[in-house]
Amino acid sequence: MNIKYLFKNNKGRDFVCGDLHGCFSLLETKLHEVDFNPKLDRLFSVGDIIDRGSDSINALKYFNKDWFYSIRGNHEQMLLDWCTEATAGFRYDAFRFHMQNGGVWIADYLGVHIQQLADDILLDPPITEKYPELNHWVDALSKLPFAMEIKSNRKKIGLVHAEIPENVKWPSLEAELHKTNVRYSLLYSRKYIRSRKPKKYRIAGVDEIYCGHTILDIPQKIGNINYIDTGAYSQQNLTLIELKN
């Protein structure tokens, strides 16, 4: 699934949160503060649910909650890359990249020393055959869309993890997703948020976009883009915003 399309929640409220990075106890605190009702309300995540924090394994439980919706972040993609790559050399490179960026928890999840896992990565059979428990993650993460749209009669809200290239309009995003540079931008780009020449960054065809990926002290809005990653794992500061649609 490339983009997931949803309509406004007419039963309760909709919330969006910044990058979780395994900080689910912090999320639970935030949900308690807003009196979140799982029978009526919905929660949207801008991706990077796993890695760096202390409880990435809990992500699998959240994927099974019918009120929780997430898009794919670069950290989810990192795990998928080495679990699904067919060529041993590329698979090992993807594995090392993930481990260097907060993925070491997966060794604990599998109950194996990280060096043993690194050695097994180089074997010819797919790593999911050696460690079938990884299939739980591959199945869950491969279903995550690269973007999400929440629509009402008044407003259209988009969710992406990082950034959309400035020349791509929201209505044409799905048609552009086959392009490597567009997918890279959605997962990794910090071009606009870190630009030394502030400019109005606005994506046409959508009222507002929420994204994470780049840690800020407080949420920041540029054009119609809301950057809401405030460092759950590094600053113990998770942003949770009610969507007004």
User: ∠ CA 58-62-63 to the nearest 5 degrees?
Assistant: 115
pLDDT value, residue 157: 97
Mean pLDDT of the residues in the chain: 94
> How many angstroms separate the CA atoms of 38 and 26, rounded?
17
pLDDT, tens digit, 9 for 90 and up, residues 115-139: 999 999 998 778 999 999 999 999 9
pLDDT at 245: 78
Domain ranges of the chain: 11-70+153-242, 75-141
97-109 residue pLDDT tens: 999 999 999 999 9
- Residue 70 φ/ψ, nearest 5 degrees: -140, 150
Q: Are 71 and 54 in contact (CB under 8 A)?
A: no
Q: Which two tokens stand for residue 215?
A: 């840690």
Q: Among 245, 179, 171, 162, which Cα is nearest to 203's? A: 171
Q: Tell me which fold the domain 11-70+153-242 belongs to.
A: Purple Acid Phosphatase; chain A, domain 2 (3.60.21)
At 167-217, the pLDDT tens digits run: 899 999 999 999 999 999 999 999 888 876 656 788 999 999 999 999 999
Q: CB within 8 A of 169, min separation 6: which ones?
A: 203, 204, 205
Q: What is the arrangement of strands in the sheet containing 147-151, beginning at the earlier edge strand?
A: 3-7, 147-151, 156-159, 208-211, 225-227, 220-222
5 Cβ partners below 8 Å, 6+ apart? 148, 149, 151
Pairing of strands 240-242, 208-211: unpaired
Q: Longest Cα pair distance anywhere in the chain, in angstroms?
A: 54
Instruction: Average the pLDDT over 15-36 and give the result.
Output: 97
Is there a contact between 62 and 89 (Cβ–Cβ < 8 Å)? no
